A and B are shown apart, each in its own frame.
Chain A
């Protein structure tokens, strides 16, 4: 067959073509040879000579398809409601397939004739408004579907949708459906597929005729369902039902509907069953949380999460509950080892709710935040505002007991674990500076008295604190650590020094020393008391001082005798004991070398101790039964005797000073030291801020100070105010600056005023002010005015 254009008789060719087309759209069988001939017929019509007959072919085909669909419509229309879907579906399958084949048959017409007139993608997307879609020629496949939509779906629309909704309704109530699932699905999808050739808004028809109706139907169904359910079951059962319903509906959506609708249907159900009954659910929240009904809470979380702001009430209740549980755990502590009880019970509560949040609330950030908030308020809780919060102290003591040598038999990894957990609590503490003070004191004690269980654990803990709070926070602790190693080097050097001088045995005792940097250690100078070094130690002290000064010039050594300790060999009774004790106790016992009894006066004049210390340390010796008196009361003339009948099961032990009272005293001291530090810190912060900002509103200044100091402690506003008033005195030592309160436009402002003449005159703003005629205050006023006018554009 030639491809050359030739004259064609349209009637003749069309006559053959009609037959085949009818076969195709009804999915009849066609021989391949016939198909091929028809294919070339379409071609020959399109390229016909003298005039191409493509246009006529298009109109005729259109007419034919219209007639066909109309005919089908009458057939479907006659069907009763039960058979409507099935029949429609059957014809749809047939027709949609048919038109697809027809499209292939007409592919020459499509590509040559219609394509030319078609709008490009760009036209469709950005095209002008005049485009008239109805005028446009369509590809044959699209034309067929277009006709289907116009002639079949439109007139049947109401009945079809009604039957479909009925079918879905039946599926919901789990009664047998009239049409099988595949039919319902097929019909619904036909609304989408009928527009499959369109480049955009393929879902428009589906959404306008079916989806809206479906959502309305769904809404009213579940509204009724929800109120019916709430009538005869409680919230817990209701939630179970809703979850089941949601799952069903999601499954149903995937079964029947195109993907775009899945979310919408589920959302509709959520709105009707959850969001509309939020109050009912919230009313039960409190009791569910306090009873910790995990299953219910988990359900509630699942249901409320998609609802906007649905979780707030739940989060709030969870927070309150955790707070209450936490407080309960720590307020009723009694008996021994309160620090350990405190920390461990807090950790238990924390762990419990941490797992609960993980299991029930899937680690939702809101709940994790609630846990943190709750714990912050538990950890920083104090009975009333007058009492200081004990948590920092207790936590520090807990760490102390873990790090101290003890007989508890925890191995190193267990200790490390527990220390790691204590960091959890540490992070919640507001007054981190209080913790630091306590920790430093206890660390100092452990290091000096060599009570540390392991140096590795000590260092690990300091590093943990550093991680949580930064370098600055632990720098003093690190310095204490370095001092210890410096001291051990020093001891070695000292021994070598003695050896080189041939004086190894001259000291008569086994001597060692810790030399510490005065600034780094929390060893108050206040506790230094007058003390006469016992004769036996004098040689050592002097030799070491000579050695030290020859090695390091410009340094002054101060002996802290209250921290020194030694081991005494005591053999006045039947057995010999090795007793570790403080230097003060040693000094007293050494006096009994020659005699068996001494008066208090003699002891005190010899040791030079003050009354308080003397009584304290003598009492400790009396308590240990090494010494004894006749009466209870200690007076100047009371005679103290060596207890020659002394016996103890252990031959190696330690005498310490009554620890309980010491602790109380220490805590008070620490708190007042912290208070001092805070004042300095706040003043420094104020100066820092003012130097940077020059001019600031009073309230803004306070806010900045709070935000700067938050990492260390929660400052109290009256204290900040006091520091602002004193700011000029303390922080600004160079006397170049002073802070002045300035009342302008009813804003309380603070500004830093340079008062020195040099500065004032060199600054352009001040060149006009003759210094002699103004007082400082006036100068300041002018300066502030200038500052205000110069910063007026910037908001402050």
Chain B
């Protein structure tokens, strides 16, 4: 009885070891992000999208990009300034279509 129990245990440990020979315990990934825009630089301020608009000091989350439904893309600060300066129609500065933020 005792012998049997021991051998069962031995078997189970062996089995476990064979299954879990190499196992990932934890993993830390590293990734970079960049904007996916159809152009290299903002059509309003002419600064690259990898940089920030001319009023900001640091690019990144503080100076994000926005897309219009016409698929044109600008720094959010640039397009907001542009839209505020327009009195009648809110148009995309690139294609003159009505500006609507893409959801």
Contact = CB atoms under 8 A, between A and B. Distances in A.
B21 interface: yes
B30 A578 contact: no
B28 A512 contact: yes
A560 interface: yes
Interface in B74-96: none
Interface in A18-41: none
A511 B29 CA distance: 8
**Most chain A C-beta atoms within 10 Å of own C-beta, residue among B17, B23, B24, B29:** B29
Nearest to B24: A509
A558 interface: yes
A513 B59 contact: no
A590 B22 contact: yes
A537 B24 contact: yes
Given A569-B23, A592-B22, A517 B30 contact: no
A571 B32 contact: no
Contacts of B32: 515-518, 521, 523, 557-558, 560
A258 B82 CA distance: 81
A500 interface: no
Given A511-B27, A516-B30, A559-B31, A554 B22 contact: no
A486 interface: yes
A650 interface: no
Given A512-B28, A567-B26, A517 B59 contact: yes
A564 B24 contact: no
Nearest to A591: B22
A537 B26 CA distance: 10
Select the residue from A448, A540, A567, A578 with max chain B CB neighbours within 10 A.
A567
Contact of B24 (A554, A572, A590): A590
Contacts of A592: 21-22
Interface in A270-319: none
Contacts of B35: 554-556
Contacts of B21: 570-572, 592-593
A75 B67 CA distance: 116
Nearest to A523: B32
Contacts of B29: 511-514, 540-541, 544, 559, 564
- The size class of the interface chain A forms with chain B is 35 or more
B30 A513 contact: yes
A213 interface: no
A510 interface: yes
A704 to B, nearest CB: 24
A520 interface: yes
B5 interface: no
A493 to B, nearest CB: 14
Interface in B15-58: 17, 20-37, 50-51, 57-58
Given A518-B50, A556-B36, A570 B31 contact: no
Contacts of A554: 35-37, 65, 67, 73
A39 B90 CA distance: 108
A523 B34 CA distance: 13
A52 interface: no
A251 to B, nearest CB: 65
A569 B30 contact: no
A479 interface: yes
A568 interface: yes
A243 interface: no
Contacts of A740: none
B51 A519 contact: yes
A183 interface: no
B20 to A, nearest CB: 6
Contacts of A513: 28-31
A475 interface: yes
| Residue among B22, B25, B50, B51 with max Cβ neighbours from chain A (10 Å) | B22
Given A554-B67, A569-B20, A592-B21, A518 B28 contact: no
Contacts of B24: 508-509, 536-537, 566-569, 586, 590
Contacts of A523: 32
B76 to A, nearest CB: 11
A448 B34 CA distance: 18
A519 B59 contact: yes
B27 A510 contact: yes
B25 A514 contact: no
A556 B49 CA distance: 13
A571 to B, nearest CB: 6
Contacts of A483: 60
A593 B31 contact: no
A479 B60 contact: yes
Contact of A515 (B33, B36, B59): B33
Nearest to A566: B27
Contacts of B65: 554
B67 A537 contact: no
B26 A511 contact: yes
A565 interface: yes
B37 to A, nearest CB: 7
Contacts of A568: 22-25
A244 interface: no
Contacts of B34: 517-519, 555-556, 558
A515 B31 contact: yes
A329 interface: no
Interface string A524-538: 000000000000110
A134 to B, nearest CB: 82
A479 B58 contact: yes
Nearest to A595: B21
15 contacts: A482-B60, A511-B27, A512-B26, A512-B28, A513-B31, A515-B31, A516-B30, A517-B60, A536-B24, A537-B24, A564-B27, A567-B26, A569-B24, A569-B25, A572-B17
Interface of B: 17, 20-37, 50-51, 57-61, 65, 67, 73
Given A516-B30, A571-B23, 9 more contacts: A479-B60, A509-B25, A510-B27, A558-B32, A559-B29, A559-B31, A567-B26, A571-B21, A592-B21
Q: 5 tightest CB-CB pairs across the interface, nearest first?
A: A510-B26, A566-B27, A518-B34, A563-B30, A513-B29
